[in-house]
Amino acid sequence: MSYKASAVANANIALVKYWGKRNEELILPQNSSISMTVAGLQSYCTVEFDENFERDFLNLNGEDIEPDRKEFKNVQKFLDVVRQHCGKKIYAKVYGKNNFPTAAGLASSAAAFAALACACNSALQLGLDGKGISMLARRGSGSACRSCFGGFVEWLKGSKEDGSDSYAVQLADENYWPEFRMLICITSKAEKKIKSRAGMKQTVATCPLYKCWLESVEADLENVRNGIKNRDFSLVGRTAEHNCLKMHATMMTTKPPIIYWNRTTIDIIHKVLELRDSGLECYFTIDAGPQVKIMCLEKDINNLKSALQNEIEGIIDFVEAKPGIGPKVVEEHLF
């Protein structure tokens, strides 16, 4: 018997970052985090479980992935969790496709595993609700649990050893703050040399500032929650930018140091500070990669984009993003 389904999910950009795990196996974070699900950065997934398959099969962006590659092992590990959940030892064929650069600091794994979790839930009729899908997606990639809802989302770190209280909740849906925008500046399409998972582990083990990071995160979470609730753009932007800098400070003081920024990343940072001083309110945030996401209000995005296009060299592309929807099952299959 065969079970097949497809789903699409959006990436999310963290306003309060997640960096570091307290449990590597269950992917449980050291701290809670808040993100915006972004419209336009999409991952498509088709999964088919078939009792006649003799092993798992993976194709990403048109390329067959061999079983010895890390991407295959990560997906296989996730499928093992699905098999354990449904009580069936049944192999799967997975096709995934992103409409944006993969493994380049744009939360491609978050979108991919949110889509895969949604597709698995549909194919095998697991009966999971939003909370359950987010907990399943978390086992593939921690930040994937946040892509399981639209709008503004918090991933609760939880405290239980089994991870049963670590899942995502929606703070506000995609229609709550329609003026909120992110201008995503693509400065490189290359895969980053140090993947987030390895970088986090290295930071937790060696960074002398990591304790300070954890001690300061709760205040950031409170500020961003309140900022979203009251649509206080200045509070959200200021807090998100400072939180980003603190996270990258822990990376840079890791042994050996982890520096994801390139020359264009730094040029954009300086330009954002200059524009803000001149009266255009905007704030930057950067995940584990060289891409810069600039928060602004809808009324300012054209002026912001124009200033960057005219004065910054090295920006490959722009994506104008507003709050997006959560994952959904679709009828179009990739195979």
Q: Per residue in 15-51, pLDDT tens?
A: 999 999 999 999 999 999 999 999 999 999 999 999 9
> How many domains would you assign to the chain?
2
Lowest mean pLDDT among 196-205, 211-220, 265-274, 318-327: 196-205
Q: What is the pLDDT of residue 106?
A: 67
Q: What is the mean pLDDT of the chain?
A: 96
**Domain housing 301:** 180-321
Query: Is this model's pTM higher than 0.85 or not?
Result: yes
What is the domain-level CATH number for residue 224? 3.30.70.890
Q: What is d(CA 238, CA 224) in angstroms, rounded to the nearest whole number?
A: 9
Paired residues of 42 in beta bridges: 10
CA dihedral 22, 220, 152, 304 (to 10 degrees): -120
* Burial label, 59 (beta-carbon count in 10 A; 0-12, 13-18, 19+): middle
Q: Are residues 164 and 283 in the same domain?
A: no
Q: Are residues 38 and 61 in the same domain?
A: yes
Q: Are residues 260 and 116 in the same domain?
A: no
> Is residue 133 helix, strand or coil?
helix
Q: Per residue in 108-153, pLDDT tens?
A: 899 999 999 999 999 999 999 999 999 999 999 999 999 999 999 9
Q: What is d(CA 170, CA 188) in angstroms, rounded to the nearest whole number?
A: 31
Q: Is it the case that residue 103 has pLDDT exceeding 80?
A: no
Q: What is the pLDDT of residue 107?
A: 64
Paired residues of 96 in beta bridges: 45, 60
Q: Are residues 170 and 191 in the same domain?
A: no
Q: What DSSP state is assigned to residue 323?
A: B
Q: Is it the case that residue 102 has pLDDT exceeding 80?
A: no
Q: Are residues 206 and 306 in the same domain?
A: yes
29: enclosing H helix or E strand: strand 28-29
Q: What DSSP state is assigned to residue 66?
A: P
Q: Are residues 201 and 221 in the same domain?
A: yes
Q: What is the pLDDT of residue 191?
A: 84
pLDDT band at 104 (very low <50, low <70, confident <90, very high): low
Place of tokens 């200045």: 234
Tell which of 177, 202, 227 closes a domain: 177
Q: How far is CA 236 from CA 119, 223, 270, in A?
A: 33, 7, 20
Q: Are residues 100 and 184 in the same domain?
A: no
Q: What DSSP state is assigned to residue 194?
A: S
42 found inside a domain: yes
Q: Is it the case that residue 75 has pLDDT exceeding 80?
A: yes
Average pLDDT over every residue of 220-231: 98
Q: What is the pLDDT of residue 192?
A: 81
pLDDT band at 281 (very low <50, low <70, confident <90, very high): very high
Q: Are residues 144 and 263 in the same domain?
A: no
Helix, strand, coil share of the chain (percent; to 5): 40, 25, 35
Q: What is the pLDDT of residue 67?
A: 97
Average pLDDT over every residue of 60-81: 96
330 found inside a domain: no
Place of tokens 């954890």: 214
Q: What is the pLDDT of residue 312?
A: 97
| Side chain identity at residue 167, one-letter code | Y
What sign has the CA pseudo-torsion 207, 209, 213, 215?
positive
Q: Are residues 238 and 314 in the same domain?
A: yes
Q: What is d(CA 154, CA 152) in angstroms, rounded to the nearest whole number?
A: 7
Q: Are residues 137 and 265 in the same domain?
A: no
What is the domain-level CATH number for residue 22? 3.30.230.10
Place of tokens 């907990």: 135
Rg (the chain; Cα; Å): 19
Q: Is it the case that residue 14 has pLDDT exceeding 80?
A: yes
329 found inside a domain: no
Average pLDDT over every residue of 41-64: 97
